[in-house]
Structure 1
């Protein structure tokens, strides 16, 4: 069982975020991580039983950081359009500013080790935004929330590859979700 977070574990996670940002998930080997951290390979296995558990921990850490930024942005806003728009903008801005977005947003979709993590995170976020979707008058808020998450992920990737926010895509998303259903 992995040890609790401590300087060594956190140093390995920091190093892995750097490696993933540079080389993607495919380049995220144990050797690359320990070399970047300046640690012995045995230290890695002292904190993580295998590469898979390490990648899962790294993915969780990345998304926990994004979630913290989004929750800070929405603060005490009541469910509804303002909270949804604020949260989506905060998420997209954080994806642009956070290292590892390509690895943990794009590449994680096809990494078998992360499939369960991606699904669980998407379900969690869908549950968080479903009340906002409901306030907009959409039927079946969980299904619409799922689709909104997919659209936001695509926008985040388009922004990542262009290196800047895409106001056109953000406006199109807003127009779609604000549209009166039916």
Structure 2
């Protein structure tokens, strides 16, 4: 059996590169192996199917993005500043990754990924919950779920515009402010 690296990494990098200019429906085993300049059989040494490969791309994308966010908020106590920093890190990470659109939106419709998308969204909402509680939300969980959706939508708007949308980012921060009783 051949070692997983560097072949696996080359195939994953080829997929991310292809997704920068296309979408998941056009990502085939043939296109990936051609872009990686590898034989088709080498693909199947690493994944049983295209779906397993797409799942691996999705996981790596989110793991790397999560790590970037965690690095930015490390050491910050829960609250408004940590919330704003984490949201900015997430959005900046999405904007920097050309494959974001495919891995953020199109992945939802790919077979077998809906549970993974839901798990990632729940993970993000749990992170936001502590910040929302710290800034005064009495029941922060529902808002955290809605903010995850708003943040993902903002990422897509920024990708479509090809730039940061400070108006959208400010609006997200305003949504997170608790109502004054």
Scaled by the length of structure 1, the TM-score of the pair is 0.94
CA deviation profile, 1:119-177 (whole Å, cap 9, x unmatched): 11111111112111111222322221110000001111110001111111111111111
1:41-56 alignment runs, 5 A limit: 41-56=40-55
Structure 1, unpaired ranges of 5+: none
| 172-181 or 22-31, which deviates more | 172-181
**Corresponding position: 1:163 with 2:162:** yes
Residue 112 of structure 1 aligns to a residue in which SS? coil
Distance 2:153 2:36 in 1: 32
Q: Distance in 2 between matches of 1:133 and 1:5?
A: 41
Larger fraction in helix: 1
Counterpart CA distance in 1 for 2:153 and 2:170 is: 14
Contact 1:137/1:181, CA 8 A, preserved across alignment? no
Number of residue pairs matched by the alignment: 181
Q: Which runs of 5 or more structure 2 residues have no equivalent in the other structure?
A: none
Secondary structure of 2:112 counterpart = helix
2:112 paired residue number: 113
Q: Distance in 1 between matches of 2:47 and 2:156?
A: 30
CA distance, structure 2, for counterparts of residue 25 and residue 32 of structure 1:
11
TM score, norm. by length of structure 2: 0.94
Separation in structure 2 between the aligned mates of residue 136 and residue 101 of structure 1, nearest angstrom = 30
How far residue 33 of structure 1 moved from its aligned partner, in angstroms, is 0.5
Distance 2:117 2:82 in 1: 23
Matches within 5 A, 1:52-67: 52-67=51-66
1:103 is aligned to 102
Cα deviation, 1:39-87, whole Å, max 9, x if unaligned, reads 0011000011111111000000011111111111112101111111100
Change (3 A) 1:26 1:145: same
Structure 2 CA distance for partners of 1:142 and 1:179, relative to 1, 3 Å: closer
**Aligned residue for 2:24?**
25
CA distance in 2 between partners of 1:181 and 1:170 (Å): 21
